[in-house]
């Protein structure tokens, strides 16, 4: 029972089906691309409509640098979270972000920087490495208490929710439309399944593979 929503680029199809009641409320999300293929690295977010949100607990998350790539590619965190950027390569990296939600720079370093970076503003933070220009990752900072990232099968499970009304939406770094266009208002009881279909744009990074005549890197 899907219902297409026109007028939006990031077309969201939502199927809200109440399944058998269980003791804890659960939101099961499935995100696909326009071709119907499961889409990993989409962030599914749920915010109580009554505004009553559990206070954020101090947390430290990690975005690694492994084999000249950020791992993971997408990291959702709650506002106020600190993130460590350990460099697990045997070379130096230079991590930076120009994003308004968090501008920062960790100049040339090995190992783990002494201080984690505090993400205290809601928004998308795009990460780069000034040595290896193809390195790219995103930190999605939200003030919503419930969120999860889709895995390779396009699925994400949001646990620990209480019964009630929620606004639920999806974000993906390559989605062509706005997050707001994907939002759905739901009354959650038991386990609910939601499905989105997102239209994606291409992601153009500086090439890492060898290109004859390209003198850009080393």
Partner 1 sequence: MKSRTALRLSHGLLLLACSGALLAPTAARADWLLDAAAGYTYDDNLPNALNDSDRKADSALSASVRAGISEQLATNTGLTLALLAEQNLYLRYSGLTNFGAGAQARLRHKFGLGADTPWAALSAQALHRNYHYDYRDGWQYDAGLTAGKRLSERLSVQGSVHYDRYTADRLQPTILPGFPTDAYDVWGWTFGARAAYAITESDLLSAAYAWRNGTVTAITPRDPEILEYSSALARDPVFGTEPPLVAYRIAGKTDIVSLAWSHAFSPRISMTMSYLYRRTVAPEDLGGYYSNVVSIFLGYSR
CA gap 162, 77 in Å, rounded: 20
Residue placing its CB nearer to partner 1 in the complex, 55 or 212? 212
Minimum Å distance from CB 129 to partner 1? Answer: 9
Residue placing its CB nearer to partner 1 in the complex, 105 or 159? 105
Sign of the alpha-carbon dihedral angle for 3, 174, 176, 147: positive
Q: Are 18 and 192 in contact (CB under 8 A)?
A: yes
Sign of the alpha-carbon dihedral angle for 63, 101, 143, 201: negative
From residue 73, give the alpha-carbon distance in Å to each of 52, 102, 149, 187: 31, 17, 11, 32
Residue placing its CB nearer to partner 1 in the complex, 32 or 174? 174
DSSP secondary structure letter of residue 34: T
Minimum Å distance from CB 92 to partner 1? Answer: 6
Residue placing its CB nearer to partner 1 in the complex, 94 or 167? 94
Minimum Å distance from CB 208 to partner 1? Answer: 4
Q: CA nearest 131: which of 117, 102, 110?
A: 110
Residue placing its CB nearer to partner 1 in the complex, 8 or 199? 199
Residue placing its CB nearer to partner 1 in the complex, 38 or 206? 206
Sites of contact with partner 1 (CB under 8 A): 69, 90-92, 94, 96, 98, 105, 107-108, 110, 128, 130-131, 133-134, 202-216, 218
Minimum Å distance from CB 69 to partner 1? Answer: 8
CA gap 188, 49 in Å, rounded: 11
Minimum Å distance from CB 131 to partner 1? Answer: 6
From residue 113, give the alpha-carbon distance in Å to each of 59, 71, 92, 107, 117: 17, 16, 12, 10, 9
CA gap 128, 15 in Å, rounded: 36
Minimum Å distance from CB 31 to partner 1? Answer: 20
């Amino acid at each position: 029972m899907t219902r297409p929503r026109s007028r939006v680029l990031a077309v969201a199809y939502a199927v809200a089906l109440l399944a058998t009641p269980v003791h804890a409320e659960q939101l099961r999300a499935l995100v696909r691309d326009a071709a119907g293929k499961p889409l990993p690295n989409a962030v599914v977010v749920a915010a109580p409509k009554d505004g009553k949100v559990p206070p954020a607990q101090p947390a430290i998350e990690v975005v690694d640098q492994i084999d000249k790539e950020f791992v993971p590619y997408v990291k959702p965190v709650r506002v106020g979270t600190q993130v460590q950027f350990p460099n697990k390569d045997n070379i130096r990296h230079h991590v930076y972000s120009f994003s308004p939600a968090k501008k920062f720079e960790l100049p040339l370093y090995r190992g783990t920087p002494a201080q984690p970076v505090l993400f205290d503003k809601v928004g998308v933070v795009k990460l780069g490495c000034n040595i290896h220009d193809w390195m790219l990752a995103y930190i999605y900072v939200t003030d919503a208490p419930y969120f999860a990232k889709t895995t390779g099968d396009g699925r994400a499970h949001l646990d620990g929710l209480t019964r009630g009304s929620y606004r639920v939406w999806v974000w993906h770094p390559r989605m062509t439309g706005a997050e707001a266009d994907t939002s759905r208002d739901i009354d959650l009881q038991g386990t609910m399944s939601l499905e989105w279909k997102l239209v994606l744009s291409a992601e153009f990074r500086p090439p890492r593979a060898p290109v004859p005549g390209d003198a850009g890197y080393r």
